[in-house]
Amino acid sequence: MIESHHTYKAGSKEQKDLDYILFLPDDIDIKKKDYPLVLFLHGAGERGSDLELVKFHGIPKLISEGKTFPFITIAPQCPKEGYWDRPEYVSSLISLVKHVMGKYNVRSNQVCGTGLSMGGLGTLAISIEEPDLFSAIVPVCGGADLEKIDRLERLPIWLFHGDKDEVIPVENSISIYEALEPKNKRVLLTIYEGVGHDSWTETYENQDVYEWLIKYTY
């Protein structure tokens, strides 16, 4: 994968600047082939001003260890004082995704989102704010505002959570699933028995997760 570091400059007073890592497939040629785009959002522990922290978990970690993916990955870093599900960051992330889509000719039905912990919260918050942005999402040990959850009744969602999570309770993902399942037949829930907050390691090492995501981008 080809790695480069960038900064998204806020487009308004309601947004925030975001540093991010861009990972491109080695064979990328946007004139000959379409590439899906995946937004990866890290957890609260990786906030700050050092982009190397973003590689501690999830997709960026796997790429840094040599794994390749057939999609473009954006991995932004949240400032130390920020939180992904706050409105100013939700707006910034939506604009960042659209910026990269335009640069690499990514079609509107080729964009997926995923994140862990705070990143799971952010992935769901973005989806609720703009339900048509993503083709599918994988929120890991996250949660959402159930008052607006009906906005996701058509979005493919695969939720993951550990049943022993003492940081973000598993009930968050269960309540999302129970609210959507009667209307959304493409919502899935995987609960890991005996697993605490780290439900992301097993999730992101599971090849089935990526195959599930990507099948909704064609």
Q: Which residue range is the domain that position 92 belongs to?
A: 2-214
Average pLDDT score, the chain: 96
Q: What is the pLDDT of residues 5-32, one digit of tens each?
A: 999 999 888 999 999 999 999 988 877 7
- 170: which 2 tokens? 């598993």
Q: Which band of pLDDT confidence, cut at 50, 70 and 90, is reported for residue 148?
A: very high
Among candidate residues 195, 45, 201, the one with its CA nearest the CA of residue 118: 45
Amino acid letter, residue 79: P
- Give residue 174's pLDDT: 98
Angle at 200 between CA 197 and CA 204, to 5 degrees: 170
Q: How many structural domains comprise the chain?
A: 1
CATH number, domain of 72, equals 3.40.50.1820
Q: What are residue 146's phi and psi, to 5 degrees? A: -70, -15
Q: What are residue 113's phi and psi, to 5 degrees? A: -135, 145
Q: Which band of pLDDT confidence, cut at 50, 70 and 90, is reported for residue 218?
A: confident
Q: For the residues 136-141, what does the mean pLDDT come to?
A: 98
Whose structure tokens read 């704010």? Answer: 129
Assess whether pLDDT exceeds 90 at residue 96.
yes
Assess whether pLDDT exceeds 80 at residue 78.
yes
